[in-house]
Amino acid sequence: MPLLICVAPGCDDLALPGCPHCERHDAAKRDKLAARRKAAQSTDHARAWRSLYQSRAWRAASRRFLRRNPLCADCGDLGAVVPAKVVDHIEPHKGDRRLFWLRSNWQALCIPCHNRKTAREVFHGQTGGGG
Ligand SMILES: [Zn+2]
Ligand SMILES: [Zn+2]
């Protein structure tokens, strides 16, 4: 088995088997990938999105909405009485502030209904309505 030298400039450590880099540079490469992945999740858009939900205004408004709409809308459609826990956007706002704050676009849901709806949106990219 030939011993290879790490391909990183200026590095003369031995490369790991089946890898162009030494242990140190291979770890550095993985760190860089992880950092890039993390950066993608904290883009301006994602930050703006999160800050909408974390804003005091949203928390206060959604609490008020749930006080007035204490039951899950989806479960109500099926005749079940289930306490609502979250305010959901009927049409996904995708970061759009107008849609986000539009009261007529809000509905009270229980956690299972909200998770189900969110999963559907993520998997099928649905824009609401339908079904
Ligand atoms: Zn190296
Ligand atoms: Zn429900």
3-state secondary structure 26-53: HHHHHHHHHHHHHHHHCCHHHHHHHHHH
Q: What pLDDT is stored for residue 123 in this prediction? A: 63
**Domain of 37?**
1-41
What are phi and psi for residue 78, nearest 5 degrees?
-95, 5
In a domain, 131, yes or no: no
Provide block-wise average pLDDT over 10 residues at a time, the chain (131 residues): 85 92 94 86 77 93 97 96 96 90 97 89 53 39
With a threshold of 0.75, does the pTM exceed it? no
Ligand 2 centroid, distance to 61 Cα (angstroms): 20
Residue 108 lies in a domain: yes
Please tell me the distance between residue 48's alpha carbon and the centre of ligand 2 in angstroms.
28
26 and 65 inside one domain: no
Q: Is 37 in the same domain as 60?
A: no
Answer for the pair 58, 52: CB distance below 8 angstroms, yes or no. Answer: yes
User: What is the per-residue pLDDT for 129?
Assistant: 44
The tally of domains found in the chain comes to 2
Position 122 scores a pLDDT of 64
Determine how β-strand 106-109 pairs with β-strand 86-89: antiparallel
